Every structure is written in C-alpha cells, then in structure tokens.
Amino acid sequence: MKKSEWEEGILKRTLEKSKERKENFRATSFPVQRLYDPGAVSELDYEKDLGYPGAFPYTRGVQPTMYRGKFWTMRQYAGFGSAEESNRRYRYLLEQGQTGLSVAFDLPTQIGLDSDNTLCEGEVGKVGVAIDTLEDMELLFAEIPLDKVSVSMTINASAAIILAMYLAVAEKRGIVFDRLSGTIQNDLLKEYIARGTYIYPPKPSLRIISNIFSFCKEQVPKWNTISISGYHIREAGSTAVQELAFTFADAIEYVKSALASGLQVNEFAPRLSFFFASHNNLLEEVAKFRAARRIWARIMKDKFKAGDKSQLMRFHTQTGGVTLTAQQPMNNVVRVTLQALAAVLGGTQSLHTNSMDEALALPSEDSVRVALRTQQVIAYESGVADTVDPLAGSYYVEALTNEIEKEVWKYLDKIEAMGGMLAAIEAGYPQKQIQDSSYSYQKEIDSGEQVIVGVNQFQVQEDLSHLKTLKVSPEGEELQKNRLLKIKKERDAAAVQTALAKVKETAASDGNLMPPILEAVKVYATLQEIADQMRAVFGEYKEKIVI
C-alpha cells in the first residue's frame, strides 16, 4: 500500500469517525507529524550523518561499545549543611552502589562569600555544603579515596578556589595530581544567561577559565576543566533546541578564549565536557543528545580543525528539576524514570536522577536511594544498555535528530553574526529568547493545553504530613561561623597576607592565577579573602536587565 492510498482510505475514514485529541501536537521545539516514514529521512546520509559509534560524527555514541563495556557513571548530586553532614551522605551513596560523587555548594560559596558575611545570613548550608577554608574541604572528603572516586563539583565563579582546595586536600594525603579524576563546572557564561551566581565580569572570568585549562593540562591531566552547562539554560525555560544552541555558543567562546591565551586546541579540548537536562518528552530528548554529539563534532572539526579526541562530546545528564511537582510527589518517580531512560537511550556518560521530594525539600536518605535505584534498574534490568544506540533507524528519532541539528545551526549562525556569545549576552539576546520560551510554556500550562499530571489535571486532596523531609539544622550556620573564627585565630596571619598579596598581584598581571590561589588555600586563607583579591582587580558584574 502506498502512503497516498493509506491517507485517502484508512486514515480519512478514521478521522471522519473520530477526531484526534487536538489539532496541533508539539515537542518543545517542533510540530510533531502524525506519521514518520522513509520520506522523513530521505536526506539522511548514513556515513555522513550517522556512521558508527566511536567514529565521526559520533551521532551513535562516543565509544564503540558504549554500555556493553561499562555503564554510565551513577553520580548523584548532593551536599547540604556542614561538611560533616555532606560527607555522611556521600559515604552512604557510595555504599549503595553510586560510582561517582557530585558536590552541591551553598549560595555563599558559589558567589565567593564566607559564612560569616552578614549578606549570607540564613543561606549558609541551605542549598549545598558551606565551604570557607581548606579545613571544610578536608572534612567534606574524609575517608573518601580521592584517587579512586571521580568527583564532580558544581561551582563556577569560585571554581578556581574550590579546585585549589580539592588539590590541597589530595596533596596533604600524598596523592599526586595526575591520579585525580573529576570535573569542575567552571561555566561562567551560562551564569550571565540563566543562573546568576557570577562574581566578575565576563572577560576576567574567561581569563580565569583559561588559566584553569592551562594549569590542569600540566598538573591534573585527567581532570575535566569545564562542564559547559545547558542544564541551567533549560531549567530557566528554554526549549531543547535553545538548550543546545546556547550551550554550544558558550563552548565556542571558551575555545576561542583558550586559543587566544596561547593554548593549542588539542591541548585542552579533549578535557571539555558538557552537562544537559533530560525532560519528559522522551523521544525529543533522545534526539537532542544524538544531535548534540554530531553538532559538536562538526564544530570542532570544521571550525577549529581539532583532532578526533577533541571532537568527542562527553556529557553528564541530570533529570529535570523544573519538571518535579510538589503535588502528588510520588508521580515524580515516574517522571524521573522516563527522563533517566531518555538520557541512557541518548548515550550519556554520567547521570544524576532527582529525588521525588525535591520540590518540597532537600532529598531524604530514603528518596535519594530510590533515585539511585532507578538508575540501577535501568542499567541491570531493562536491557536498553545491551546494544548501542537502540533507537537508531526510527524514522521519528532520525527525523527529529536532523531537525534539531538544523535549528541549532540557525541559532549559532545568528549568534556568530552578532559577534559571538559575549556580544549576544551583552545585547540580552539569549536571555530574551529563554524568557519568551518560558512564558509561552507557562501559558500552555495555565490554559490546560499542556497537561501536568496532578497540577492542572487529575488533582486530588492530599495529606503530605507523612513524608519525611530533610531539614538543615538552624544551628549549623552558627557552628560554621565558629569553625571559621577558630581557623582565623589559629592560622599564620603573616603567611595568609603574603599569599593574598600574591593573588592580587597575579590578577593585576597576565600570570596564571591557579598557583598563587593554591598557595593561599594551603595557608588557610578563606574563600572570600581570595575572591576579594580578584574583586579588587576585576570588579563585579552587574546584570543587564532585558525587557
């Protein structure tokens, strides 16, 4: 039967009897056709667009055997209250089978302020762990073998200081730097676009990032020096296409900055990594991840003439925080399962699964165990990890992969015409695009066009008093301040002042900031003291309001 015969016969008769649920079906970025057939992928060139896993353009995966060789890293994001409390959670997760750590820092730490700063009252330890000095970092990783467990740290504006503290802990334990593996997020451009935990203006921020690239190339070769993040762009309300487009525009800016600093592309690009969200539209998310690998490979090969290892897009995925609902929180287990499945089908290298209670509070021990078990069930019981890129060849998935790539290139071409991502950010372009997408989506929810189960349909009266939610002790802030005061009294004040002066002097020159920062943390200079030396030279960024 030909398609035209099917349309005029079977389909037409069916539609005459019964209309479809709605007139327009959409993923977040595109209309979804009723049916996909070979005609939808007629332009697809297998060798050029798909190829084989582990080979350009890496659409089907960055490793030839993918999960048949090794599962993705199960890396649950955690951190709250004091270093001791967070350390207990990390050791618990490792005991439950987690294979990597991911550290959440509190807001003061993220913006380079100490816990005793009056601006931080009520925020210490609330959305992550409080880190003021090297002692906090020592407590955070007590009894954890840093040379055996990879550690990801979600830190940006103060990334250089936090990385230096981590390295100092390893050095005190006699662990050489080339045995350390992990990641710092270190992605400042997305902070100006979507998240807001910045300190310095973009240009000095790019300098610090390039300093980290250069330092780690020589000293910490297994370290991923940046995790270029689309996750926060998506959480702010972007579409799937915008998530990729703005992330890659940021990445291009980082590569150009590193090249301008004197680095060669293949010296740093193999350690670039990415961080994406996974939301509820399962097949769109799978197509997004497949398209992302292909786009990045082409950017690096065609634009920067980079080698094979530099073309590999390795990425971490987190399930969508904004998709979680406070209403009927058990439903979040289903949402997270679908999102995690999409990440695995899309070929992620590591994965965090959100806990069902995160719309209400910090995740409890019970709920975080269920979140981890979700990954383990997918890995060991579902069978989806037994073959590489199992959805390849689906007319819909391949067509959507192609369509996402085309739309991402349109954004990238527009941003390049504006002068690059720095210029686009200054003009407020990506911010406005994200705001418009977020507003449109919220209107769909308010009108009922987009159903959120348990929120705008299928509501119930519920009593959540039985849920055991985790609360950060209010006494923790005072204890943190007291520990900081004790450190300041007992440390060598003269050594601290000398080390801080060196940080400021280097910031005012064109030297690499990592060595003096490392020396400063070793003598227990505080996070804010070090950040303030750079504030004095670089100034602070003031957000441009986009209307």
Structure tokens at 393: 């060849």
Residue with the two structure tokens 């327009």: 24
pLDDT tens across the length of the chain (547 residues): 889 999 999 999 999 999 999 888 988 888 999 999 999 999 999 889 999 999 999 999 999 999 999 999 999 999 999 999 999 999 999 999 999 999 999 999 999 999 999 999 999 999 999 999 999 999 999 999 999 999 999 999 999 999 999 999 999 999 999 999 999 999 999 999 998 999 999 999 999 999 999 999 999 999 999 999 999 999 999 999 999 999 999 999 999 999 999 999 999 999 999 999 999 999 999 999 999 999 999 999 999 999 999 999 999 999 999 999 999 999 999 999 999 999 999 999 999 999 999 999 989 999 999 999 999 999 999 999 999 999 999 999 999 999 999 999 999 999 999 999 999 999 999 999 999 999 999 999 999 999 999 999 999 999 888 887 787 778 889 999 999 999 999 999 999 999 999 999 999 999 999 999 999 999 999 999 999 999 999 999 987 665 5
CA dist list (Å): 543 to 15, 188, 198, 266: 52, 13, 10, 34
- Domain 46-70+185-447: assigned CATH number: 3.20.20.240
- At residue 546, the pLDDT reads 58
Delimit the domains of the chain by residue range. 46-70+185-447
Dist. CA 280–CA 284, nearest whole Å:
9
User: In a 3-state reduction of DSSP, which class is residue 227?
Assistant: strand
pTM over 0.85: yes
- At residue 547, the pLDDT reads 58
Identify which of 328, 312, 408 has the alpha carbon closest to the alpha carbon of residue 360: 328
Identify which of 162, 153, 228 has the alpha carbon closest to the alpha carbon of residue 194: 228
CA dist list (Å): 194 to 57, 202, 406: 29, 14, 24
Letter string b/e over residues 471-498, b meaning 16 or more CB atoms within 10 A of that residue's CB? ebeeebbebbbebbeebbeebeeeebee
Dist. CA 434–CA 317, nearest whole Å:
20
- At residue 545, the pLDDT reads 64
Residue with the two structure tokens 């209010």: 474
Structure tokens at 105: 């820092």
Identify which of 541, 493, 487 has the alpha carbon closest to the alpha carbon of residue 165: 487
Dist. CA 248–CA 50, nearest whole Å:
20
Dist. CA 444–CA 430, nearest whole Å:
21
| DSSP-assigned letters across all residues of 370-423 | HHHHHHHHHHHHS-TTSSSSTTTT-HHHHHHHHHHHHHHHHHHHHHHHTTSHHH
Sign of the C-alpha dihedral computed for residues 172, 216, 533 and 126 taken in this order: negative
Cis peptide before 57 (omega within 30 of 0): yes
Helix 514-522 to helix 527-538 angle (10° resolution) is 150
Residue with the two structure tokens 């390295």: 167
Structure tokens at 338: 């679908």
User: In a 3-state reduction of DSSP, which class is residue 102?
Assistant: strand
Residue with the two structure tokens 């955690």: 78
Dist. CA 126–CA 472, nearest whole Å:
7
- CA 298 from centroid of its chain's CA atoms: 22
Structure tokens at 486: 């004790």
Identify which of 57, 77, 67, 409 has the alpha carbon closest to the alpha carbon of residue 249: 409
- CA 22 from centroid of its chain's CA atoms: 34
Identity of residue 419: G
The answer to whether 273 touches 224, Cβ cutoff 8 Å, is: yes
| DSSP-assigned letters across all residues of 285-337 | HHHHHHHHHHHHHHIIIIIS---HHHH---EEEEE-GGG--SSSTTHHHHHHH
